[in-house]
Amino acid sequence: MNGVLKTERLTKTFGGLIAVDDVSLELQKGELLALIGPNGAGKSTCFNMLMGQLKATSGKVYLADEEITDLSPRQVWRKGVGRTFQITATYSSMTVIENVQMALLSHFGDILRFLPRAHLLHREEALKLLDLVGMADQADRHCAVLAYGDLKRIELAIALAHSPMLLLMDEPTAGMSPKERVDLMELTAKIVRDQGVSVLFTEHDMDVVFAHSHRIMVLNRGKLIAEGDAGEIRNNPLVQEVYLGGGTLFTSEVESHA
Amino acid sequence: MELFVAQIITGLANASSLFLVACGLSLIFGVTRIVNFAHGSLYMLGAYLGYTFMQVLPGALGFWSSILLAGVSVGVIGILVEMLVLRPVYKAPELFQLVATFGVILVIQDIALIVFGPEDLLGPRAPGLRGVFRVMGEPVPKYDIILLVITPIVALALWYLITQTRVGVLVRAATQDREMVSALGVNQAWLFTGVFGLGSALAGLGGALQLPKGGADLLMDFHILAPVFVVVVIGGMGSLPGAYLAAVIISVLNVFAVTYLPQSTLVLMFVVMIVVLTIRPYGLFGREEVAGEHGQVGEPERPIKPASPRVQLLTSVFILLLAMMPIYSASFSLVFTTDVLIFCLFAASLHFLLGLGGLVSFGHAAYYGGGAYVAALLVTHANTPMELAFLLAPLGAGIAALVIGWVCLRLTGVYFAMLTLAFAQLLWSLVFQWGEVTGGDDGIVNIWPSEWLKPTIVYYYLTLLFCVGGILLLRHIAHSPFGYALRAARDSKRQAESTGIDTRKIQLLAFGFAGFMGGLAGALFVFSKGSVFPNELEIARSFDALIVVFLGGVKTLAGGVAGGVFFKGIEDILLKFEYWRLVMGLLIIFVVVLAPEGIVGSLRKGAERLNLIKSKDM
């Protein structure tokens, strides 16, 4: 098999609330898979379990046939998983390129070196990564003064620094303008094509999802309720009910916030 | 059994002042997020004012109204402090307010000295409550019983105010989410002022209430500070029941310790605190602080870059001037410069933790004084040669820092700061009370360097070598991958952990390294003075370093050193005056209010405005 990521009956409960309920999914090499669902459906919880921020209550996670359930975020990253955050996380006291160099320093095991000058190390590689996300011309700018969309692209460069086989993107286009959304998703699609990376992302903007993902999975109240390509999902009655009415969406939100 | 009950009653009575001061502090912290170090000073003012009123107002009615009046007056003083000193700095970088409150401590100390004189005042007995009650045959002062009753009443009144009234709702809401409360149209400024006034009034009340038991003196501000912080932290920041319970635990244990284990009284409360925080990291009733990434307050820190050739040249010239100092300058200025250099190394080591790591250690004196004591103890008890003791001292301090850091780094924010303070105080109490080994208050004397290092000039060069070397090393490491990782862990722990950086390991190593450098400064100090006393481990010494780093500028690499030179220079001039604390305190407050970027940051901004240096990218 060539599955890059596989979960088996992944479940997370918080007290009595079942946030993620028996989710099994599989991601192929070079695939761009969207995980969608209304607020409170369990997307972020799912993500945090994959990356090791949260411990799964039960179930297993495999990365290329190797079990990574309950590894720490650091270990998961070492196995070859990169991630971007719903709310950007960058080093605000550093320049753009230093943000990327930081990930490279970690990747090449340089963190505990006390003698060399950090800003001279891996500069070439960092520039290449910035060039890939279209930020090379801003490499030496101070990170704290950049626009939000630019920060998202820096995060992408950071996540790609150790040539991951899998990229997890939690709402990559949240807070962006429509043009920035399209640009970022086209960039992601290009990276998937060129580098053979697999991408799992969550998203609220349906235009983005339908236009760019190879396959879509729909999560509602912790359960996977549908799977398929854009056409299949659009015409799936269950999904329509969740998103467009029938009262299900409303009740699910009330319950999950109770 | 009888004695046991009597002691519990005494303990509960002693808890009352502690509780009042602690819940005032807790209240202020909860709403304004200001750790008010001047709270002990307000308590002291309460005692002095209460005493003064009691001299004028006669009888039992006079006594009790004096206590109330003292509380109200201190409340008004608190309001003035808040409006004049703190309001301008709410927007300043995090914990900068702390330095301002330290300035307030100094100012109040000298004002109390001017107004009330240097003599300790013996508190008047409460009229009608002079005798003792017999409780199971044991004498218990009547006043203790009264305190026992008053404290729960005050606590209940506060509880009613906080949970049942509209004001209380606002206070609780502000504790949870300040921005939201102000967005809902509540005048945040006045809410802060009001809470600060109330908290101050409680401190003043506590000070006046303990008059019949303890009187008033000029040291009580610092003496109450450590127990109050311990109580607030054990109880859980912002929790009233927690503060009460913790005050009772600490006071009762203290009474028993006085009876059965008198050497342990000071150490005990810190041991209790460390035990409690190990089991419940956020105190008995505290809730976890959500360490949100709201970014830094104020202007974001700029990227660092290695010194430009021009700066390198200037630094070289400066070091050369220092090296040639014995040629053109008198011996006493060499001694003074030695002091300044040692202090700069101490400050730079704290700056490394605080500036680069974002780890606000309130107890950095532990490593400075610790290093000094390691050297002194080795020389005195083990006849260690000076050179070896000099090298082992920083090692000892570094190892202590690793151990302490390992415990403290489980916590974040204010809890982290308080725990580091507690450990420093633990060391201080150990040294202070373990007289047979450490000499206690008399210190350890006759710790001189070896013959070849004895001449002032030679020792000056030794200091110059290690201090300049140490500072340059700290600076170099700031630019190394390790220094970058330390900043990364501070800027975004989330991102750092998700890219394989073990942030806790990095921070622990930084803690150990800063402790090592602090210990080196301590070792240089002890051999230059020939003696060491417990005050090198005091809270005040830790604060010296904190103030210096803040004044110099947290967000600039040169901040620690610039602040050190400034502070020592000013101190040298001011110590010649009788009321130097007043001037120093006012100076600190002025700098904090007028130049919140610190000295280096403000100079850089000024230069940028005048186009002397070009500003990048802003």
User: Distance between CA B414 and CA B456 in Å, rounded?
Assistant: 42
pLDDT at position B294: 37
> How many angstroms away from the CA of B483 is the closest CA of chain A?
8
B491–A91 C-beta distance less than 8 A: yes
A117–B306 C-beta distance less than 8 A: yes
Which candidate, B366, B371, B374, places its Cα nearest to that of B420?
B366
User: Distance between CA B402 and CA B508 in Å, rounded?
Assistant: 6
> How many angstroms away from the CA of A111 is the closest CA of chain B?
5
A117–B480 C-beta distance less than 8 A: yes
CA atoms within 13 Å, Cβ hemisphere of B307: 13
Chain A hits for B479, CB-CB cut-off 8 Å, are 117-119
- pLDDT tens digits along A5-49: 999 999 999 888 889 999 999 999 999 999 998 888 888 899 889
Residue B435 banded pLDDT, cuts 50, 70, 90: confident
B488–A74 C-beta distance less than 8 A: no
Residue A248 banded pLDDT, cuts 50, 70, 90: very low
> How many angstroms away from the CA of B502 is the closest CA of chain A?
7
Chain B residues interacting with chain A (CB cutoff of 8 angstroms): 293, 295-296, 300-306, 476-477, 479-485, 487-488, 490-492, 494-502, 506, 509, 616-618
What is the CB neighbour count within 10 angstroms for residue A217? 23
What length is written for chain A? 258
Interface probe for B, chosen from A91, A101, A158, A169 (most Cβ of B below 10 Å), is A91
What is the phi-psi region of residue A134: left when phi exceeds 0, alpha when psi lies from -120 to 50, beta otherwise? left
Instruction: Name the amino acid, one letter, at A61.
Output: V
B303–A93 C-beta distance less than 8 A: yes
Could you say which of A102, A112, A113 has the minimum Cβ distance to residue B499?
A102
Bridge-based pairing state of the strands A166-170 and A81-84: parallel
Look at B290 and B244; give whichever has higher pLDDT. B244
Among chain A residues, the shortest Cα distance to B556 is held by A93
A118–B479 C-beta distance less than 8 A: yes
Across B454-479, average pLDDT: 93
pLDDT at position B77: 96
pLDDT at position B93: 61
Both tokens of B148, joined, read 């026992």
Q: What is the mean pLDDT of chain B?
A: 86
> How many angstroms away from the CA of B333 is the closest CA of chain A?
35
Chain B hits for A94, CB-CB cut-off 8 Å, are 303, 484, 487-488, 491
Q: Report whether pLDDT(B416) > 90.
A: no
User: Distance between CA B474 and CA B557 in Å, rounded?
Assistant: 10
A161–B481 C-beta distance less than 8 A: no
- pLDDT tens digits along B120-150: 988 888 887 777 777 777 778 888 888 888 8
Q: List domains and CATH numbers for chain A.
A: 3-80+164-257 (3.40.50.300)
- pLDDT tens digits along A69-114: 989 999 999 999 999 988 889 999 999 999 999 999 999 999 999 9
Across B304-317, average pLDDT: 86
- pLDDT tens digits along B538-558: 888 898 888 888 878 777 778
B618–A85 C-beta distance less than 8 A: no
Chain B hits for A92, CB-CB cut-off 8 Å, are 295-296, 300-301, 491-492
Q: Report whether pLDDT(A256) > 50.
A: no
pLDDT at position B94: 59
Chain B hits for A105, CB-CB cut-off 8 Å, are 481, 484-485
B480–A89 C-beta distance less than 8 A: no
B616–A85 C-beta distance less than 8 A: no
> How many angstroms away from the CA of A229 is the closest CA of chain B?
31
Interface probe for A, chosen from B301, B476, B484, B516 (most Cβ of A below 10 Å), is B484
Across B151-177, average pLDDT: 84
A121–B617 C-beta distance less than 8 A: no
- pLDDT tens digits along B195-212: 999 999 999 999 999 998
Look at A123 and B29; give whichever has higher pLDDT. A123
User: Distance between CA B495 and CA B36 in Å, rounded?
Assistant: 33
Q: Report whether pLDDT(B418) > 90.
A: no
- Looking at the DSSP assignment, which residues form a beta bridge with residue B133? B140
Q: DSSP of B337-363, one letter per residue?
A: HHHHHHHHHHHHHHHIIIIIT----S-
Instruction: Name the amino acid, one letter, at A249.
Output: L
Bridge-based pairing state of the strands A32-36 and A198-202: parallel
Among B18-27, B48-57, B543-552, where is mean pLDDT lowest? B543-552
DSSP state of B262: G
A115–B480 C-beta distance less than 8 A: yes
State the Cα angle at A45 between A39 and A48, rounded to 5°: 135
Q: Are B551 and B593 in contact (CB under 8 A)?
A: no
User: Distance between CA B283 and CA B418 in Å, rounded?
Assistant: 11
Beta strands per DSSP E along chain A: 3-14, 17-28, 32-36, 58-63, 66-67, 81-84, 166-170, 198-202, 215-220, 223-228
Interface probe for B, chosen from A83, A114, A146 (most Cβ of B below 10 Å), is A114
Could you say which of A74, A89, A93 has the minimum Cβ distance to residue B301?
A93
> How many angstroms away from the CA of B99 is the closest CA of chain A?
23
pLDDT at position B300: 66
> How many angstroms away from the CA of A202 is the closest CA of chain B?
18
Could you say which of B306, B476, B497 has the minimum Cβ distance to residue A74?
B497
The helix-helix angle for B220-235 and B413-433 (nearest 10°) equals 130
pLDDT at position A252: 40
> How many angstroms away from the CA of A238 is the closest CA of chain B?
35
Interface probe for A, chosen from B475, B482, B495 (most Cβ of A below 10 Å), is B495
Chain A hits for B476, CB-CB cut-off 8 Å, are 114-115
Across B466-484, average pLDDT: 94
User: Distance between CA A155 and CA A138 in Å, rounded?
Assistant: 14
Residue B297 banded pLDDT, cuts 50, 70, 90: very low
Q: Are B63 and B127 in contact (CB under 8 A)?
A: yes
Chain B hits for A111, CB-CB cut-off 8 Å, are 481-482, 485, 501, 506
How many beta-carbon pairs below 8 A join chains A and B?
Answer: 122
User: What are the CA-CA distances from residue A247 to residues A19, A240, A252, B36, B48 (Å)?
Assistant: 20, 11, 9, 52, 69
- pLDDT tens digits along A112-148: 999 999 999 999 999 999 999 999 999 999 998 898 8
User: Distance between CA B205 and CA B278 in Å, rounded?
Assistant: 33
User: Distance between CA B546 and CA B347 in Å, rounded?
Assistant: 8
As for the ipTM of the complex, it is 0.89
Which candidate, A61, A79, A78, places its Cα nearest to that of A70?
A61
Residue A190 banded pLDDT, cuts 50, 70, 90: very high
Among chain B residues, the shortest Cα distance to A145 is held by B618
What are the boundaries of each domain within chain B?
2-131+143-279, 333-538
pLDDT at position B110: 93
pLDDT above 90 covers what percent of chain B? Answer: 37
The helix-helix angle for B503-529 and B331-351 (nearest 10°) equals 170
Among chain A residues, the shortest Cα distance to B357 is held by A93
A144–B481 C-beta distance less than 8 A: no
Residue A197 banded pLDDT, cuts 50, 70, 90: very high
pLDDT at position A201: 93
Chain A hits for B484, CB-CB cut-off 8 Å, are 94, 98, 101-102, 105, 118-119
User: Distance between CA B573 and CA B359 in Å, rounded?
Assistant: 32
Q: Are B208 and B85 in contact (CB under 8 A)?
A: no
pLDDT at position B21: 93
- Looking at the DSSP assignment, which residues form a beta bridge with residue A27? A5
Chain A hits for B502, CB-CB cut-off 8 Å, are 74
A77–B498 C-beta distance less than 8 A: yes
Chain A residues interacting with chain B (CB cutoff of 8 angstroms): 51, 72-74, 77-78, 83, 85, 87, 89-95, 98, 101-103, 105-107, 110-119, 121, 141-145, 155, 158, 161-162
Label each residue of B128-161 as H, E or C: CCCCEEEECCEEEEHHHHHHHHHHHHHHHHHHHH
B485–A111 C-beta distance less than 8 A: yes
Among chain A residues, the shortest Cα distance to B356 is held by A93
Query: Does CATH number 1.10.3470 belong to domain B2-131+143-279?
Result: yes
Could you say which of A103, A114, A119 has the minimum Cβ distance to residue B499?
A103
Among chain A residues, the shortest Cα distance to B509 is held by A112
